[in-house]
Structure formats: structure tokens, C-alpha cells
Structure 1
């Protein structure tokens, strides 16, 4: 049996492809593999950006493998270091991840997609949270979605499980771009190349600040930044990259980021 998750390294960009015929559904062993892959990406100083996509043209990921569930796998199984899909609960994930949604993104697949920082969708991609039909709650989406899009739209999706097309997803703002299917990976790689060429210490700071801001007041987080109590901010403000950014601006040239 072939590996359910394929990886491809292109310079400073890691491509991760879910490849579990027929639908790229995720069971616990596959989730653990994904967690290990994304943890290795997080910890590799040579890698600057990752792309997550699905194999084929029909499915990005429909979520939890219900065949595994029927065989006894429970919703609280050991999904690995990053939680379901390897990303949702991965500690200190301070690098950008792009979702290239090549088809159906339902349930847990939708939630994995939401754990990415930028979402690019093929024109035929569709999105839904159909967990109600399986007698379970869309746990991560119930927490995240009402904070990302209008409350009433989020509740409609959670209560009804209805399917949204890519155009509507973009209208509500949980998809950045919609492109023709044959241009999806080209566009994702173009965006990844841009981010891989950007300031990694700044990106890390942005992601940590956003996590801290989830449950704190604005002024409290700002004070933490100003006092350099967040490790990524402290690293950034005491780095060569920070000095390089100022020098490059003064010298009217493109900065050379070293991540240190």
C-alpha cells in the first residue's frame, strides 16, 4: 500500500498531498503521519512555507474516515502531535501554510483547511460541515467559524450542513482566492514562493501574537509585545534580520532574510 501522505520539497517550500483513495479521508494513523510531517516542517530551518492539497480532482478531504469509525475508531482517538489532520493543535506552528483546495472540503477536511493561513480554491471546490448527519459536532469549526465569518452564516453551516460553492466561500471571506482547477497549484506555488522569500521571523511573530490574542484583551497582548514577553517577538527584535530590514530600507534594496 502506498503512503497516504505524499511530500515534495522544492527549495524552501514543502508540498504535502493527502492521497488516500477514494476520497482522501483521514483516519488516526494518517493523522499521526500528518502531525509528524508538519512538526518536521515546523522544526526545519531551511523550510519557509508549506502547501497542503489533496490528490485527484474531486476531493481535498471529506474529513474523518467513517469506515474507520465503523470499525471502532472514536472521535477522541490518538490523532497525533498536531491533533486531527496534523495542524489544528500543533504547538508553536509559526510558519505559513497554504491550503490549495482541489475539490470537496467537508467536515474535518474543512477544519484542516481552516487551520491553514491562506486558502486558494479551485472553481469547482465545495465546502460543508455535515457532521450533524453523523451524530457528532464539528468541534473545531464550532469554535473557529463564528469568529471568522458572520455569525449567522456560520450557524447556518453548522446547523444545516449545507454545501457552499467556491464563489460563496470567497464572498464570506474564508477563501482568499478562487482560480481555475488547472491553475490551482501554479497559484499556490507562486504564493508559497513569495512567502518563502519573506521574513520568517516576522511571520513567526505574527502567528504567535495572533494565538495570544485569541483569549486576551488588545492592550494586554500589546503590552506583552512591547515588553518582549513573547519569544518570537523577542527573537525578532534582537535579530540580524531586524537590522537587515532597516539597512535594506535605507539603502533602497531588497532585504536578504536569514531567519536569525
Structure 2
């Protein structure tokens, strides 16, 4: 059953994937404290639902994926003496694949939300920026994730200037995987989610975990970290089912174990 709660975020489960939509188009899908708390609840549900294998993140409308932190909300809380680093909690840690369908500008926390996803597909009119320095702030997670995604040179330029880049430049530097016309964005994201969800979930999640953890250490250590996970996958029921289904020329029935 879907979670009940404020509709500032829409949470739609479809077969074996879900669509999570920031739903504040009148505020360019800016992230308030309430939005961050709601996102935490939704991500917890997704992470713990065995039927959900992939999540797609997007924004309502076509102007904005997310403009980042809601500065009006931030200013009001600051005026009351509340001390906060930002509006959004860090994303829930799990090994299920996530896709950002970037439908409009992705600034600040919106850009960071896209960076937290495993695959980023952008509409051809969008822009990305980490503009926090223009408001006397600092990117909350972008200072860590952007250089790991595109390298330190361009990441430093984005963090220090706060200037935006367009979708084609984002593709050129490896920030996004694919750029499509805006009317094809959700179709492309859903197609990708369905391709991933059709694969063995144990293998998919282990592959994501090994890639993520292996990037932080030399390759020899990465292989040592990955070996136990590979052993689990290669000796799983899903591995046997995959080989059997191939031999019998049928679609595998995955158990996730």
C-alpha cells in the first residue's frame, strides 16, 4: 500500500520499479525541511520493499528537477535561531539502482540529488549548477560527489563559480549518461528501469555495491572487497536459474537469493 502523507513528493509503485516525484512546481521543486523528511520516509520504504528493484527520481513540471534548498524556508528558520546545515537528509544507503530523470534545472541540492543517483538521464533543455557560493553557502554533498563523478578540475570550477552548465556539456563531461528531447525523458528513464529490473536483483545490487565501494580504494583492495560478494552471487539460486533459463530458452524467474 502506498505511504500516506503530504503530496510534496509523489511516490508511485509500478510492477518492480517506482517513480519518486518532487511535487512543488510552484517553488521549482525546492527542498524544504519537510520535503527532506518526507523523502527519507519514502526512500526507507523503497529500500525495504522486496518488490521494488529500481527507483526513478524526477520533478513535477518541465521547468525544474529541483532548484535545491528552499532558501525562503531556510531564511525563516534562521530568523527563528534554528541552526541547520541544509534542508535535505543524506539519501538512504542501499544497493538498489536509482535513476535521475532530470526534467528541468538541477541546482544546488537538486544537482546533488541527481548526483546521488546511479544513472542520470537529462532532457535537452536542462541546466546543472552548484550555486551555493553565490548565497554565501557551500554545496552540502556536491563538494564530495561532483569531483568523484566528473573529476576535480571541472568540479572545482562548478563549486567555486556557482555557474551553470547545459545538458550537452553535462553529457560531454560525463555528468549525465544520456540527453534526450524533453518529451522522451520519462520514456527513456522507464525503459532503463525496466531493463535493469528484468535482470537478476542479487547480481545487480552486488554489482552496484562493488562499483561504489571499489572506487574508493586501489584495485587490489577493491577486488578483495568484491570477491565475497561475487562468491555469493555465483553460488546463488538466481545464478542457477539464469543458466537454466538460458539453456531452456525462457525468461528467468528471479528469487533474489
Q: TM (normalized to structure 1)?
A: 0.88
The alpha-carbon deviation at position 250 of structure 1 amounts to 4.0
Q: Distance in 2 between matches of 1:120 and 1:130?
A: 21
Gaps of 5+ in 2: none
Aligned residue number for residue 38 of structure 1: 43
Aligned length: 248
Aligned residue number for residue 50 of structure 1: 55
Give the match's secondary structure for 1:139. Answer: coil
Give the match's secondary structure for 1:121. Answer: strand
Deviations 1:131-161 (A, max 9, x none): 1111111131111212221422111111111
Q: Distance in 1 between matches of 2:226 and 2:61?
A: 43
**Residues 210 and 75 (structure 1 numbering): CA distance in 2 closer, same or farther, change over 3 Å?**
farther
Deviations 1:197-234 (A, max 9, x none): 111111111222133224322212212333x2x5xx45
Aligned residue number for residue 197 of structure 2: 196
Which among 76, 89, 92 is matched to residue 85 of structure 2?
Answer: 76
Q: Distance in 1 between matches of 2:157 and 2:181?
A: 28
Deviations 1:64-117 (A, max 9, x none): 1101110125443684xxx24xx2xx22x1111111101010001000000111
Aligned residue number for residue 163 of structure 1: 164
Gaps of 5+ in 1: none
Aligned residue number for residue 137 of structure 1: 138
Deviations 1:33-65 (A, max 9, x none): 111111111111111111100001101001111
Give the match's secondary structure for 2:141. Answer: helix
Contact 2:70 2:87 in 1 (8 A): no
Q: Distance in 1 between matches of 2:66 and 2:231?
A: 38
Select between 156-165 and 234-243 the one with higher mean Cα deviation: 234-243
Aligned residue number for residue 18 of structure 1: 22
Could you say what the CA RMSD is over the residues aligned between the two structures, in angstroms?
2.0
Q: Distance in 1 between matches of 2:73 and 2:138?
A: 17
Aligned residue number for residue 237 of structure 2: 240
Give the match's secondary structure for 1:120. Answer: strand
Contact 2:215 2:222 in 1 (8 A): no
Q: TM (normalized to structure 2)?
A: 0.89
Is 1:186 aligned with 2:160? no
Deviations 1:134-192 (A, max 9, x none): 11111311112122214221111111111111111111111111111111111111111
Contact 2:214 2:225 in 1 (8 A): no
The alpha-carbon deviation at position 255 of structure 1 amounts to 2.9
Give the match's secondary structure for 2:121. Answer: strand
Is 1:257 aligned with 2:254? yes
Aligned residue number for residue 113 of structure 2: 112
